[in-house]
Structures are given as C-alpha cells and as structure tokens.
Amino acid sequence: MQGAVKLKPTVPVPEPAAASAVSVRHLHVRFGDRNNEFTALSDISVDIPEGAFVTMLGPSGCGKSTLLRCIADLIHISEGSISVFGRSPREAREGRDFAFVFQDATLLPWRTVLDNVCLPLEVGKRSHNGDHADPRALLEMVGLKGRENALPHELSGGMRQRVAIARALVTRPRILLMDEPFGALDEITRDRLNEELLRVWQETGTTILFVTHSIPEAAFLGQKVLMLQAHPGRVKEFKEVDLPFPRSLPVRDTVEFIGVTAHLRARLEECL
C-alpha cells in the first residue's frame, strides 16, 4: 500500500487509480456558537483518486473553499473524518503531503521571485523528506526564467500566480490544493494558465483539487467535477468529464465540451 502510494505516474490515467489521495467521510463543519450556529458543510463523503485532477464547482456559499481548507488543516472539523494519503490533515500538513495555492498569490513582497519559491524549504518542521524540486527549474517550467531576481510588485498578476504555483510545487507535494487561483485574472491570462496547469499536472503527476466559480474552467481542467450545493453545503454530483487528455484550449469549441458545460450549468441551476 505504502509503496503503491509513493509511485507518481508521469502521465495520469484517465480512470481513477485504486488508491485515493483524499478520503472524506461524513464530514460536518459548523461555525459560530450554540445560539447562532451555521452549518457550512453537512455529511460530505468523497474520495479523490490519486493522480487525478478534480475540480470543485458550486454556487457561492456552498462550502467549496471550506472543504479545501478542511483538507489543508486550516479549518477545524466538527464531525467526521478526512484522511490525506492515510494520514490526518495535520500529519499530512506537517509531512508536506500537500501544497496550497490561494486566490491571491500571497507572495512576500520583500522577497525576490526565487526567494519566494524557496520559502517552503526554509520553514516548518524538518521532518519531511529532504526531497525537493530545483526552484530555478520550476521557475523555468512556469515560464519565468530570467525573472528570478524580480520583486513581486514588478510582475503582473498572472506572473505572480505562476510564482505561487512554482512555490507550491517546490516541496514536490503529492496533492495540490488550489482555491480559485485564477479567479482574479483576466480571461486571456486565465486561459493560458489553465493550459499550463494541465501541462504541469501531466509533467509532475501530482493530484490536484481545484476550486473554481467558472463552469468552463471546471470542465476544461477536471477529469472529474465535484459539484456542491449550498445551505447546507453538500455533494450534489461527482461527475466524470469524458474528454480525452491532453486537452488544449480548442477543445472548448467541440460539441462534447459544450455538452459537458451545458450539463454542469443545468445541474448548477438546480442548486439555486
């Protein structure tokens, strides 16, 4: 089991692998005190297959980000369990099993691009294995070769998000948790980064769990789409996207793609 988990397929298989990267069981998350309680997530059970690219879609307030943050050990679980590669979120966090990419690039503005990418190697418990990627090679992979010594304020929003992705990959995470990382970018930049993210996924074989508001983005990136509905947040659908890989932007003009987005849109409207 442990040996199988350690394998990182360079080209992910479309059908889910036997092992699951993240396994959520009867998860409940409540906020507030007893008098004014708010249920953010109610009885969520889902398995994210290892090596998969799963996108999370749902109306505002459905708890997509909350679920992602629970997996990342940023939010306390009220009930139920989450296991990340067979460990608790806390152990997984300390063992550097996952990396998180925020909507905002959250680069440290006083550090150069290269120093920002190196940040995860400087902090945290040293218990995780010393295995890490070459920061310069990662910057080259995200198309920022030659900008190593730039400061974040000298870069565009899209470039900053590329740095954030390189920083997330530097510890060779087994799962990448992405919380609307391209939500604040213009459409052209977003399209290009979508394509590049697919390429990064295929090159690294990392499992990716990707939260988005955009139906086309969810359909274009995801092998599977996890749709949540709100009040309280629960799983609406966990749907396979039947589009072949590798995908490139023109796939969005095919009948198959439009069929997928039409289905997702219809299901999303049922949530309202």
Partner 1 sequence: MSEVLSSSRKTESLPDRKIALLDATAGVFAKHMPAILAATGLVVLWQFVVWFFKIPTFMAPAPVDVFLAFRDNAGILWTNLLPTVLETILGFIFGNLVAILLAIWFVHSATAEKAFYPIAVFIKAIPIIALAPILVLIFGNGLAPKIIIAGLICFFPTLVNMVQGLKSASPAMLDLMRVLSASNTEILWKVRLPSSMPFLFAALKIAATSSVMGAIVAEWIGSSFGLGALIIEATYNFRSPLLYATVVIAAALAVVLFFIVSVVEAKMVRWKPGGTH
Q: For binding to partner 1 (CB under 8 A), which residues are involved?
A: 72-74, 93-94, 96, 98-100, 102-110, 119-120, 122-125, 151-153, 160
Q: How many CA atoms lie within 13 A of 104 on its CB side?
A: 5
DSSP secondary structure letters along 139-176: HHHTT-TT-TT--GGGS-HHHHHHHHHHHHHTT--SEE
CB of 265 to partner 1, least distance (A): 30
Nearer to partner 1, 17 or 74 (CB): 74
Nearer to partner 1, 33 or 122 (CB): 122
CB of 11 to partner 1, least distance (A): 28
CB of 78 to partner 1, least distance (A): 19
Q: What distance in Å separates the CA atoms of residue 37 and residue 56, rounded to the nearest whole number?
A: 25
Nearest-CA neighbor of 228 among 69, 71, 70, 58?
58
Angle of helix 157-169 versus helix 187-204 axis, rounded to 10: 20
Nearer to partner 1, 50 or 73 (CB): 73
Nearest-CA neighbor of 159 among 209, 196, 118, 211?
196
CB of 168 to partner 1, least distance (A): 9
Q: What distance in Å separates the CA atoms of residue 107 and residue 105, rounded to the nearest whole number?
A: 6
Nearer to partner 1, 16 or 152 (CB): 152
Nearer to partner 1, 172 or 231 (CB): 172
Residues whose CB falls within 8 Å of the CB of residue 71, separated by 6 or more in sequence, listed in order: 22, 24, 82, 84, 89, 98, 177, 209
Nearer to partner 1, 39 or 106 (CB): 106
CB of 100 to partner 1, least distance (A): 5
Residues whose CB falls within 8 Å of the CB of residue 266, separated by 6 or more in sequence, listed in order: none
CB of 264 to partner 1, least distance (A): 28
Whether the ω angle into residue 120 lies within 30 degrees of 0, i.e. cis, is no
